[in-house]
């Protein structure tokens, strides 16, 4: 498994775990102030991401320093495109939900969840493309 794939697996796990944490924090009180949910979530993402990437870099320092090669760049671009499409669709859904139930805090939570879902989808697509060549 390439370093890039390992790194993407780590980020997928981070986004899944932190997304679960966010949902568990936000779902019981969907209309409550957002900062109490978002700040711990952002801190958790930062800590887990940095810790995961540091561990990977210590285990394979040469690979960690190497820039993306031409195939990996294509994979990242293609997965990024589809991640953007998913994000746009999810944000539209969040907007529709706001029209149905106009609550600004809920709109914010939906937008954050859209970001999380799109990011996870992007990472999963990256892994699939890295494994299939392109």
Which residues contact other proteins (rule: CB under 8 A)?
2-5, 66, 69-72, 78, 129-130, 132-134
- Nearer CB in complex with other proteins: 36/77: 77
Q: Among 51, 20, 55, 30, which residue's Cα sits nearest to residue 107?
A: 30
> How far is Cα 7 from Cα 24, in angstroms, rounded to an integer?
26
Quote the least distance from Cβ 1 to other proteins, whole Å: 8
State which residue, 75 or 94, has the beta carbon closest to other proteins: 75
Q: How far is the CB of 122 from other proteins (least distance, A)?
A: 15
Distance, CA of 6 to CA of 94 (rounded, Å):
32
The angle subtended at Cα 111 by Cα 42 and Cα 20, nearest 5°, is 50
Least distance from other proteins to the Cβ atom of residue 50, Å: 24
Q: What is the DSSP letter of 29?
A: S
In angstroms, give the least distance from the CB of 79 to other proteins. Answer: 11
The distance between the two most distant Cα atoms of the chain, rounded to a whole number of Å, is 52
For other proteins, the closer of residues 4 and 110 by Cβ is 4
| Closer residue to other proteins, CB minimum distance, 5 or 53 | 5
Q: Compute CA distances 68 → 71, 95, 128, whole Å.
A: 8, 36, 17
């Amino acid at each position: 498994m390439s370093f890039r794939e390992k790194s993407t697996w780590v980020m997928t796990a981070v986004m899944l775990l932190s997304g679960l944490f966010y949902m568990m924090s936000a779902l019981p009180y969907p209309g409550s102030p957002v900062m109490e949910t978002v700040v711990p979530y952002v801190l958790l993402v930062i800590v887990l991401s940095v810790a995961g990437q540091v561990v990977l870099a210590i285990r394979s320092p040469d690979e960690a320093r190497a820039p993306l090669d031409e195939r990996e760049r294509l994979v990242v671009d293609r997965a990024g495109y589809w991640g953007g499409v998913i994000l746009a669709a999810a944000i539209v859904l969040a907007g529709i939900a706001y029209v149905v139930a106009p609550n600004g805090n809920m709109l914010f939570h939906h937008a954050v969840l859209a970001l999380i879902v799109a990011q996870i989808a992007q990472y999963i697509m990256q892994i699939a493309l890295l494994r299939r060549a392109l």
